Amino acid sequence: MRKKLATLGLFLVLAIIPYTFTYNGYVKTESMDALVESLETETPNLLEKYKIPGAAISIIENGNVRWIGTFGNADIEGEVEVSKESVFQVASISKSVTALGIMRLVEQGKISLNEPIESYISRWEIPESIYDKNDVTIRRLLSHTSGLSVGGGYPGYEPSKELPTLEESLSGIGGGSRPVELVRKSGTQYSYSGGGYNLLQLLIEEVTGREFATFMKEDILIPFGMNSSSFLWEENLRGNTAKAYDVNLELLPNYLFIEKAAAGLYTTIEDMSKLVIGEIESYNGSGIFQSETIREMYEPVLEVKGLEGFIYDNTALGHFVNLDSNSNMIVSHDGGNNGWRANFSLAPKEGNGVVILTNGNNGDYLLTEVLNSWHYTNFQEDRSFDKLEHRVIATIYSLTSVLVLWSGLVIMKIAKGVKDGRVEVKVFSRKITLFIKCFICAVLILVLYLIYMILVPILGFIYPGIGSILFTGILIRSILIVIQIFITTKPEGLAI
């Protein structure tokens, strides 16, 4: 009886202990000084842990740059370190900047957010569908609620390849793009659409009569002071452009984009900081945009659901908006091209913000770590995704610990039976019994396969390797189940 209670107690301890640990690489502190110190000391360790080549991080406090840190390599092979001048692709953050370009045209009275997009474009038409194209407004395109398809995700084109035209991309002609189509009723749900931003790029060109990159540089980037940024990979940026790397730190091409509004911005940590500060200033009435314009951009439109809903609460115009338990507003957008990961987040009322730029496909893990600690410093409570991450990691460690202990006890029992001569292979007198046992094993193998192919990658989105840890525990216990199906162990004292 005591042995059983001790075993039960051990199971309980192993199940509970993981929930008492913290899994953040940075300190959780209310002090901005302590946060900066933690970023300075721990970032190199996290780059090594997560296999990220380099990173640049900026902390903005009270509408000013408080600190910028650069870490790791912009070019591993050339041993070039990341600097403040290093140029990064920021992928879908391009959409936030494009949204500012659209709002500039709104302020100038050249377009209206509630007008159908096809009122302003003539070079391409939305394909006919069962849904009404007139409901596809500029506002809905900005907030990913237009009902348009994603458009292909836009992996980019190698520098040696000729870029398709914007119209060809919209029609699904070109590497990686798919036709942009109206696949659901506009305004009814959030569904991320890079194709929608392709249409906004086309709108800007047709309304202004200028190339998209030219308009954005002259009317948005330069006014914000972003002089080292462009929607084109310009000659003056190439020497400082970091190199992109995959999850194994293998070099990737610098993919180019015709879909510039959706994914094409090149920028630096200093320029991205200027963008965040410019939005904060405009929100509070002292920037280059009218306060009403920025406040309208930050107004939640629809709830974000699905996997993205674990990170963002609501979609807005070119941004995502989260509200914590005290109704504090956090405005943000991330970006992920092949070899690049980036995020900017800001608390406009407080005047604080953070920017993280990386040149590796594992950069998401660093983004999460920085955002978790930055959020705590600003609002003295854990970020929603941080809470989810902790629960998931702790639960998996707990389950795996229990499975491993359980498996260990089973192995010891089987080993003792073998030593005592009490274990033998089962003989099935009826074929149907053998068939059922084999069928159970086949189902178990199928479940293992599905866990490995589906659950492991999903869990990897939250924390690297955590899915493999759980799978290992399940695999060990499953192997033992199969063994137990085909052996029998006689009671002690009855040797074979």
Which residues have CB under 8 Å from 91's CB, separation 6+?
263, 265, 334, 335, 336, 337, 340, 341, 342
pTM of the complete model: 0.91
* Domain shared by 414 and 362, yes or no: no
Q: Which of 202, 203, 191, 242 is nearest to 86 (CA)?
A: 242
Which residues does the chain have with pLDDT short of 50?
A: 494-496
* Number of domains, the chain: 2
Q: Where are the beta strands (DSSP E) in 381-433?
A: 423-425
Task: Assess if residue 40 is contained within a domain.
Answer: yes
Whole-angstrom Cα distance, residue 140 to residue 29?
A: 39
* Domain shared by 229 and 94, yes or no: yes
Task: Assess if residue 62 is contained within a domain.
Answer: yes
Whole-angstrom Cα distance, residue 103 to residue 278?
A: 14
* Domain shared by 372 and 422, yes or no: no
Backbone angles phi, psi at 109, to 5 degrees: 75, 15
* Domain shared by 397 and 304, yes or no: no
* Domain shared by 220 and 338, yes or no: yes
Of 320, 349, 381, which closes a domain?
381
* Domain shared by 239 and 108, yes or no: yes
Report how far apart, in Å, the C-alpha atoms of 417 and of each of 344, 353, 405, 484 are: 60, 63, 18, 12
Give me the DSSP letters along 151-195: ------B-TTSPPPPHHHHHTT-STT-----B-S-TTSS----HH
Of 381, 402, 423, which closes a domain?
381
Beta bridge partners, 80, equal 75
Residue pair 289/249 in contact by the 8 Å Cβ criterion = no
- Paired tokens of 440: 């159970």
Residue pair 489/413 in contact by the 8 Å Cβ criterion = yes
Task: Assess if residue 192 is contained within a domain.
Answer: yes
User: Which residue range(s) make up the domain with 409?
Assistant: 389-489
- Paired tokens of 407: 């498996």
Whole-angstrom Cα distance, residue 197 to residue 189?
A: 17
Task: Assess if residue 15 is contained within a domain.
Answer: no
Backbone angles phi, psi at 199, to 5 degrees: -65, -40
Task: Assess if residue 27 is contained within a domain.
Answer: no
Report the run of H or E that residue 433 belongs to, with start and end.
helix 431-450
Whole-angstrom Cα distance, residue 215 to residue 260?
A: 12
* Domain shared by 330 and 247, yes or no: yes
Which residues have CB under 8 Å from 53's CB, separation 6+?
47, 72, 73, 74, 76, 242, 243, 245, 249, 358, 359, 360
Of 347, 381, 415, which closes a domain?
381
Task: Assess if residue 310 is contained within a domain.
Answer: yes
* Domain shared by 338 and 443, yes or no: no
Residue pair 355/367 in contact by the 8 Å Cβ criterion = no
Instruction: Give the CATH number of the domain where residue 49 resides.
Output: 3.40.710.10
Residue pair 366/52 in contact by the 8 Å Cβ criterion = yes
Whole-angstrom Cα distance, residue 109 to residue 39?
A: 44
Residue pair 334/357 in contact by the 8 Å Cβ criterion = no
Whole-angstrom Cα distance, residue 186 to residue 230?
A: 32
Report how far apart, in Å, the C-alpha atoms of 207 and of each of 70, 150, 170, 215, 222 are: 40, 24, 18, 11, 20
Task: Output the pLDDT for position 152.
Answer: 66
Task: Output the pLDDT for position 239.
Answer: 95
Which residues have CB under 8 Å from 47's CB, separation 6+?
53, 54, 55, 71, 72, 366
Task: Output the pLDDT for position 281.
Answer: 98
* Domain shared by 369 and 467, yes or no: no
* Domain shared by 235 and 127, yes or no: yes
Beta bridge partners, 467, equal none
* Domain shared by 375 and 393, yes or no: no
* Domain shared by 353 and 422, yes or no: no
